[in-house]
């Protein structure tokens, strides 16, 4: 509950060095028309499918998959050619592409993983934690939004809808963390589901091209 309406970032050592050097915010140019999405790949999240399918398939410049499991090639093209990557399915997509494959790419887009525990890291005692978010960062992803724990389909659909609408309308000059913070209030369970999303990576200020 204490994280609600706050900007939650988890930063790698490189990101911390940037901040310590006086770079409190990073200007990032983004073309919101250059988006790739993966929607309900296992065909069992009706709430998301009904809310987003018609919308996403008619957005200018967008391409993606609906009710279709992605291949590693889909991921490679999406993560190297697009400005935005949206994953609206179960988990973090690791069932379709390995962390090792992601780490070998030059990851370009700001990435949103809206699935359950998509931003969760696994601890290993005194060793550094591991997880899919770090694989994206190692590949050069500027920022990734993921959930720390399991979420409800309906609430996360509302959260995702609010985020995407902001990205398409008034994100120019806004920080990514502000957009995420605002979207938390769209969840019915604001202090549970709304508190799950966090940002990994740089503190981006988005400038639309």
Catalytic (active-site) positions: 116
How far is CA 79 from each of CA 33, 74, 130, 140, 144, rounded to the nearest angstrom?
15, 9, 20, 10, 12
How far is CA 196 from each of CA 26, 43, 115, 141, rounded to the nearest angstrom?
24, 24, 11, 20
Q: Evaluate whether 43 touches 166 at the Cβ level (below 8 Å).
A: no
Q: Evaluate whether 200 touches 10 at the Cβ level (below 8 Å).
A: yes
Residues 93-111, buried b or exposed e (16+ Cβ, 10 A)? beebbebeebeebebbbbb
How far is CA 41 from each of CA 59, 70, 102, rounded to the nearest angstrom?
19, 7, 19
Alpha-carbon torsion (189, 192, 198, 204), positive or negative: positive
């Amino acid at each position: 509950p204490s994280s609600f309406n706050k900007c939650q970032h988890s930063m790698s050592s490189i990101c911390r060095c940037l901040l310590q050097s006086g770079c409190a915010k990073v200007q990032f140019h983004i073309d919101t028309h250059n988006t790739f999405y993966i929607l309900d790949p296992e065909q069992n999240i009706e709430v998301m499918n009904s809310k987003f399918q018609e919308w996403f398939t008619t957005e200018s410049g967008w391409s993606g998959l609906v009710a279709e499991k992605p291949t590693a090639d889909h991921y490679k093209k999406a993560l190297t050619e697009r400005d935005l990557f949206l994953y609206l399915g179960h988990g973090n997509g690791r069932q379709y592409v390995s962390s090792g494959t992601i780490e070998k790419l030059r990851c370009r887009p700001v990435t949103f993983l809206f699935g359950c525990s998509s931003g969760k890291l696994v601890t290993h005692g005194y060793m550094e934690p591991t997880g899919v978010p770090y694989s994206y960062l190692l590949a050069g992803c500027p920022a990734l939004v993921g959930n720390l724990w399991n979420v409800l389909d309906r609430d996360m659909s509302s959260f995702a809808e609010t985020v995407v609408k902001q990205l398409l309308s008034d994100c120019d000059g806004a920080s990514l963390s502000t957009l995420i913070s605002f979207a938390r209030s769209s969840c019915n369970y604001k202090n549970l589901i709304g508190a799950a999303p966090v940002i990994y990576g740089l503190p981006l200020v988005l400038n639309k091209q």
